[in-house]
Amino acid sequence: MPQTTPPQPLFRLRITDDFSSSHQLHHYQGKCEELHGHNFQVRVEVQGSQLEPKTGILMDFKELKKKLASVLDTLDHCHLNELEPFARENPSSENLAKYIYTRLKSLLMDHPVQIREVGVAEKHSSEAIYSEV
């Protein structure tokens, strides 16, 4: 009988937040090419296998929310097309998810978690998800 290794424990944390901004999608050939705004919903999921021994938690939700808020503060109540990250690419939900993922990933380097995915929704029925895992 072949030896099987026991499954590695994996814990996931998921938080949500939002921000409000305007944008225009160039080359869209539709209404979204005009200036308009959204109340963007953002969902972040991180994962890890090592709980902090004394508390039994992977990462404090409060700390994770604080890090996400620091990224979203750079986007909130702005015209996204005027921000440097979107000078060369459309501030689509897909590109916003990638931007948030990349910024948050660097803020989590000193924590025992990996960012799994970031979802950005312009409304509840549609979500763009970015992941590198």
Could you confirm whether 52 is annotated as catalytic? Answer: no
Q: Give residue 116's pLDDT.
A: 98
Residue 4 in domain: no
CA distance 65 to 81: 25
Catalytic residue among 26, 52, 63, 77: 77
The whole domain housing 92 covers: 11-26+36-130
Tens of pLDDT along the chain (133 residues) come to 677 887 888 999 999 999 999 999 999 888 988 999 999 999 999 999 999 999 999 999 999 999 999 999 999 999 999 999 998 899 999 999 999 999 999 999 999 999 999 999 998 899 999 999 7
Could you confirm whether 78 is annotated as catalytic? Answer: no
Q: Give the chain's domain count.
A: 1
Q: Can you state the angle between helices 93-107 and 61-72, rounded to 10 degrees? A: 130
Residue 75 in domain: yes
Residue 71 parent element (H or E): helix 61-72
**Which CATH number do you get for residue 104?**
3.30.479.10
Residue 72 in domain: yes
Q: In terms of pTM, does the model score above 0.75?
A: yes
